[in-house]
Amino acid sequence: MSDRTEQLRAIRDEVLNLTESPLYAYRVQNGYYPVIGQGNHYARIMFIGEAPGENEAKTGRPFCGASGRFLDELLASIQLKREDVYITNIVKDRPPDNRDPSKQEIAVYAPFLERQLQIIQPQVIATLGRYSMKYILDKYNAAERNEPISKLHGRVVRVIADWGALSIVALFHPASALYNPTQRQIHLDDFQVLKQFM
């Protein structure tokens, strides 16, 4: 087993026992799992969403419901498979009623994401949705950090991480295409930007 696998497993175990999380009791009451992340521990491209939904919390796998199927379709459109990338969320437990994660929840779970980033050291972070976009752009103090996702989606923002050059690509959350089918083509077009990193 690789050192990275062991380090990521340690994160899983810590999140599993994260009693100080405001979402811990809700997870236990509902028999949910935390959703740590899935994919290649040496991935060049890391996808970061906001928080797991119900399907994800029931299985412990990120993006496994309808929006996950669309994400798989988007990956396939640029000849990528789930196994090629790493997929996670900022918040590792499901907020009730699929509401947006709170600032407090983001603060509790963000250190685990920071560790995942340090372990995997991706060359590209593709953010899925405005919460993860804002978090990542703020984290790396990107000049574009105050821009809305409507302006930044599908663009490459270049920053420097501890391990070297890092490209951030802001993408709309795949769920947006489920509510608004006219968004599908925008998603497909935006994904083409990732081809240059393969």
Residue 124 has what pLDDT? 98
CB 81 within 8 A of CB 42: no
80-102: average pLDDT: 96
The total number of residues shown for the chain amounts to: 198
Measuring CA to CA, how many Å separate 79 from each of 72, 85, 87, 191? 10, 12, 16, 11
CB 11 within 8 A of CB 116: yes
56-78: average pLDDT: 96
Which residue has tokens 């929006």? 67
User: Max alpha carbon distance in the chain (Å)?
Assistant: 44
Q: Which residues pair with 128 in a beta bridge?
A: 171
Residue 118 has what pLDDT? 97
Tally Cβ neighbours within 10 Å of residue 98: 11
Residue 18 has what pLDDT? 97
Residue 72 has what pLDDT? 97
Confidence (pTM): 0.97
Residue 129 has what pLDDT? 95
Backbone angles phi, psi at 11, to 5 degrees: -60, -45
Q: Can you tell me the distance from the alpha carbon of 174 to that of 163, in angstroms, rounded to the nearest whole number? A: 29
User: Token pair for residue 99?
Assistant: 């509401």
Residue 112 has what pLDDT? 98
Domain residue spans in the chain?
A: 3-197
Tally Cβ neighbours within 10 Å of residue 19: 7
Residue 34 has what pLDDT? 97
Q: Name the fold adopted by 3-197.
A: Uracil-DNA Glycosylase, subunit E (3.40.470)
Q: Is 157 exposed, middle or buried (0-12, 13-18, 19+ CB in 10 A)?
A: buried
Tally Cβ neighbours within 10 Å of residue 121: 17
Question: pLDDT by residue (tens digit) across 9-63?
Answer: 999 999 999 999 999 999 999 999 999 999 999 999 999 999 999 999 999 999 9
Question: pLDDT by residue (tens digit) across 116-171?
Answer: 999 999 999 999 999 999 999 999 999 999 999 999 999 999 999 999 999 999 99
Q: Is the pLDDT of residue 1 over 80?
A: no
